[in-house]
Amino acid sequence: MTRGNLTRRGLLRTGAVVTGAGLALPTIFTSRASAFTNDPTGDTVTLGFNVPQTGPYADEGADELRAFQLAVEHLNGEGDGGMLNTFSSKALQGNGIRGKKVAYVTGDTQTKSDAARASAQSMIQKDGAIMISGGSSSGVAVAVQGLCQEAGVIFMAGLTHSNDTTGKDKKANGFRHFFNAYMSGAALAPVLAKNYGTDRRAYHLTADYTWGWTQQESIQAATEALGWTTVNNVLTPLAETDFSAYITPVLQSGADVLVLNHYGGNMVNSLTQAVQFGLRDKVVNGKNFEIVVPLYSELMAKGAGDNIKGIFGSTNWSWTLQDEGTKAFVKSFGTKYGFPPSNAAQTCYAQTLLYADAVERAGSFAPCDVGAALEGFEFDGLGNGPTLYRAADHQCFKDVLVMKGKEDPANEFDNLELVEVTPRAQVEYAPDHPMFAGGELGACNNGA
């Protein structure tokens, strides 16, 4: 049992000792000497690839990782060079970045902000990573982007489609090559109007989280501008796997289009169930009932199988494009792994090259210099046609692809066909557009 009691004096004394020790310790030793975080002083430079290896987006993560590995090979002058040969900027020599061999570390985001940040922190603090890339969910991308801003390293976003990443949560140290929900809406709406008419009544099922909301908001605004009406928007929980209860009321609502603002497993399930319910065979208001999936991915299309036939959606890029950059990339990816890359893989590959190229052009690894080199950078040859990295919000502007589920796929990878390449001008918006307002880049941070 206890001997004596907790005395005020005793407590004060310990408190003072502990605080004193805490205050004194860090000042004993010298602080970091370099001008920015993780200045690569040796003959290698380390990049951190933070992708989901477990959880609902593990497939996307695996494909991203393949693309990163390929990009590192090409940067180090191994393999056939891929898109380095078609890239409009010729600063990269295939001898690493600024003569330093590129090394990389990988981490698992688990599609959770906390885990992703822990993994990124360990890359920065322990492995000395100078740039972090990856992510397969907008929540994670926004979280890691915030961390990189604070730590003073560059974040090259991978697969993240929410408006917020370069909207209200944009950061000076973060850059996004992938397109966003607004662009999906702007590209998709005219195609929908052309194919389904301008007098349509849409019913939305939306994944109940940040990405779902911005996606729904974007597509609703874009379709309503062309004359559609929105009957209803129902939020579905992210963990939902059975959508039958949500699909039944659709037919009674008088709607003749169902928009599924779902991604990944959600989309595979909701689409499959909607098709099984026979929605697409119905005739409502004298028109055929249609289903739309605003954001497509090859891996989801594969999961949904035959159900995606004839359904419209948008993607950032497709391996079926015929430009030189795409052909070079698909060739080297296919040679190494035996199947074509997804659009998540392409954006990650392009981001790695863009980062390396910016370092070369800036002549420095310092994040602020690299950021300045990326801002306003115009390039071509990375598969998306002429592209601009806009300085105002660090978003890439390029053509957007409208795709349709293929009726007669030649093989398991050939499940989407190109309907239209929406020109860049049609998907551009002002940096202070209401859907993107509220955030600020702030000042770039070199860290340390």
Closest CA to 382 of 47, 78, 85, 64: 85
Structure tokens at 365: 């690894």
* Interaction between residue 298 and other proteins (CB under 8 A): no
Which of 87, 196, 211, 329 is close enough to bind other proteins by CB under 8 A? Answer: 211
Which of 38, 46, 50, 53 is close enough to bind other proteins by CB under 8 A? Answer: 53
Please name the helix (run of DSSP H) or strand (run of DSSP E) that holds residue 246, with its range, or none.
Answer: helix 244-252
- Single out the segment in contact with other proteins by CB under 8 A; choices: 10-18, 254-262, 265-273, 339-347: 10-18
Contact 406, 392 (CB under 8 A): no
Given the complex with other proteins, which of 11 and 430 has the nearer CB atom?
A: 11
The C-alpha atoms of residue 283 and residue 290 are separated, in whole angstroms, by: 9
Given the complex with other proteins, which of 14 and 93 has the nearer CB atom?
A: 14
* Interaction between residue 93 and other proteins (CB under 8 A): no
Given the complex with other proteins, which of 29 and 411 has the nearer CB atom?
A: 29
Which of 138, 261, 266, 342 is close enough to bind other proteins by CB under 8 A? Answer: 138
Place of tokens 């007098």: 199
Contact 192, 256 (CB under 8 A): no
Please count the residues of this chain forming the interface with other proteins, following the rule CB under 8 A.
Answer: 66
CA angle 78–82–85, rounded 5-degree value: 100
Given the complex with other proteins, which of 137 and 364 has the nearer CB atom?
A: 137
- Single out the segment in contact with other proteins by CB under 8 A; choices: 208-216, 285-293, 306-314, 386-394: 208-216
Residue 394, C-beta contacts closer than 8 angstroms, at least 6 positions apart: 166, 170, 171, 172, 174, 175, 176, 374, 375, 441
Give the residues across from 258 on adjacent strands.
Answer: 203, 291
The C-alpha atoms of residue 385 and residue 419 are separated, in whole angstroms, by: 17
* Interaction between residue 139 and other proteins (CB under 8 A): yes
The C-alpha atoms of residue 183 and residue 316 are separated, in whole angstroms, by: 10
* Interaction between residue 412 and other proteins (CB under 8 A): no
| Footprint on residues 222-241 left by other proteins (CB under 8 A) | 235, 237-238
Given the complex with other proteins, which of 14 and 198 has the nearer CB atom?
A: 14
Indicate the DSSP class of residue 152: T
* Interaction between residue 303 and other proteins (CB under 8 A): no
The C-alpha atoms of residue 221 and residue 293 are separated, in whole angstroms, by: 16
Give the residues across from 397 on adjacent strands.
Answer: 388
Structure tokens at 186: 């702007």
* Interaction between residue 4 and other proteins (CB under 8 A): yes
Given the complex with other proteins, which of 151 and 366 has the nearer CB atom?
A: 151
* Interaction between residue 438 and other proteins (CB under 8 A): yes
- Single out the segment in contact with other proteins by CB under 8 A; choices: 149-157, 186-194, 195-203, 265-273: 149-157
| Footprint on residues 23-42 left by other proteins (CB under 8 A) | 23, 25-32
CB atoms < 10 A from the CB of 20, how many?
Answer: 10
The residues of the shown chain that bind other proteins, judged by CB under 8 A, are 1-7, 10-11, 14, 18-19, 21-23, 25-32, 53-54, 58, 105-108, 112-115, 117-119, 121-122, 125-126, 137-139, 142-143, 146-147, 149-151, 164, 169, 208-211, 235, 237-238, 438-440, 442-443, 445
